[in-house]
Amino acid sequence: MDSLKVKNESNQMPYQFENSLEFAKSLDQGDQLSHIREQFILPSDLAASGGSSCVYLAGNSLGLQPRKAKEYINAELEDWAKLGVEGHLHARHAWLPYHEFVTDMSARLVGAKPSEVVVMNTLTVNLHLMMVSFYRPTKERYKIVVEKNAFPSDQYAVASQASFHGFDPATAIIELTPRPGADTLATEDILATLKQHGGEVALVLLGNVNYLTGQAFEVEKIAAEAHAQGAQFGLNLAHGAGNLELKLHDWQVDFAVWCSYKYLNAGPGGLSGCFVHEKHGHSFDLPRFAGWWGHNKEERFKMAPVFDPMPGAEGWQLSNPPIFQLAALRASLELFDQATMPKLRQRGDKLTAFMEYLLNSVEGFCSIITPSDIAQRGSQLSIRFKGDGKELLEQFKQKGVVCDFREPDIIRATPTAMYNTFEDVYRFYEVVKNFAGQK
């Protein structure tokens, strides 16, 4: 039995791991948060035939269903049946202010003040709404800095924004590219790019963590440099919210958007969160696309012809929100509030380090491209396997292991801090080891 110390850069706590199922089980037993898994439903149809529950490592793509989600949605269905239109005011959770029931929890989740966050729309919609206000190109300063392998929706969104303002995306978009032979970006290279193009950059937009590589960026440093160069700084937290410990307010991020169906477990098509820093909360002169839900709520039903935006993030709302989706999100966010992000991240770091330790022992068959520095990643590991990744994914599935595949050759495996166990990680490793033996 071998053991290994993995240095934890952020808190200097070394992990002492052993390669055995008993050891994995002992980590689960000693764990303060392992009981939260019982609050989730594991997909019964994904278990291997004759096997126990599946090993669900795809929470970065679609999170599991919280047991309370059905109860909360059912309560709204019942109130709708009983009250009809009166539900807006008299439902047990009145529909009119319903989005406010998730505001404080969302703010705690991302390190923001309640006035800085709102849940509305879906992610790419919010990204566009934010760029309407925070991408304001001029003839001299019109470029947008993004990661080279940004999520496609983000690439389409920034390119279409540049075109909308009359610029050619081919020159308006600056892509941050890893050094030759590297998969992830060096912070100093990002800072150097910002310095080099400083006067031309209108907006820096990063995914945190990067959906493909799992790299978490050093946000505070990059935001400071973006601002020093006179650019706005935005984050897409699709893979960050509910995964990383975030301090959006303190880091001086100008805006951020995230979805709730990945780490936040609010169900397919779940709503998006949106953060606007307090410093912009009263900037009523910013261009913005308006709708009645962003209008001063005391006056909303007077149906006045002129838009009077609410201060803070709420002033960017367009429509009255979908209550069933918000109900599912409430169920999920309550669990984040109970667990707290610092504790979840601590647990996630350990789960991921354990997975890394085990996979490193099947070297030659797989290599991890996610940074080994714990400060530069969340729970996801992006792995290159020998052979055809897509085929391997199918074979994992036969064994009850659920991961996902991203072109060209990456398998993402994510032991989420919310509901995965050290035993899950070990069972994944055993399946990998078996396939390695066959190659």
CB of residue 235 to ligand PLP, shortest distance in Å: 10
Min CB(326)–ligand PLP separation in Å: 16
The CB-of-129 to ligand PLP minimum distance in angstroms stands at: 12
CB 367, min distance to ligand PLP, A: 23
**b or e along 226-248 (b: 16 or more beta carbons within 10 Å of the residue's beta carbon)?**
beebebbbbbbbbbbbbbbbbeb
Closest distance to ligand PLP from the beta carbon of 267 (Å): 12
3-state secondary structure the chain: CCEEEECCCCCCCCEEEECCHHHHHHHHHCCCCHHHHHHEECCHHHCCCCCCCCEECECCCCCCEEHHHHHHHHHHHHHHHHHHHHHHHHCCCCCCCHHHHHHHHHHHHHCCCHHHEEEECCHHHHHHHHHHHHCCCCCCCCEEEEECCCCHHHHHHHHHHHHHCCCCHHHHEEEECCCCCCCCCCHHHHHHHHHHHHHHEEEEEEECCCCCCCECCCHHHHHHHHHHCCCEEEEECCCCCCCCCCCCCCCCCCEEEEECCCCCCCCCCCCEEEEECHHHCCCCCCCCCCCHHHECCCCHHHCCCCCCECCCHHHHCCCCCCHHHHHHHHHHHHHHHHHCHHHHHHHHHHHHHHHHHHHHCCECCEEECCCCCHHHECCCEEEEECCCHHHHHHHHHHCCEECEEECCCEEEEECCCCCCCHHHHHHHHHHHHHHHHHC
Residues that bind ligand PLP (CB under 6 A): 122-124, 151, 153-154, 207, 211, 236, 238-239, 259
Instruction: Please check whether residue 206 is in contact with residue 177, taking contact to mean a CB–CB distance below 8 angstroms.
Output: no
CB of 407 to ligand PLP, least distance (A): 14
Strand partners, 256: 235, 275
| Residue 168 beta carbon to ligand PLP: minimum distance, rounded to whole angstroms | 23
Q: Which one, 18 or 404, has the nearer CB to ligand PLP? A: 404
Least gap, CB of 239 to ligand PLP (angstroms): 5
Distance (Å, rounded) from C-alpha 294 to C-alpha 315? 4
Closest CB 270 distance from ligand PLP, rounded Å: 8
| C-beta closer to ligand PLP: residue 24 or 130 | 130
Nearest-approach distance from CB 149 to ligand PLP, in angstroms: 10
Rounded distance between C-alpha atoms, residue 344 and residue 346, angstroms = 5
Q: Which is nearer to ligand PLP, 266 or 276 (CB)?
A: 266
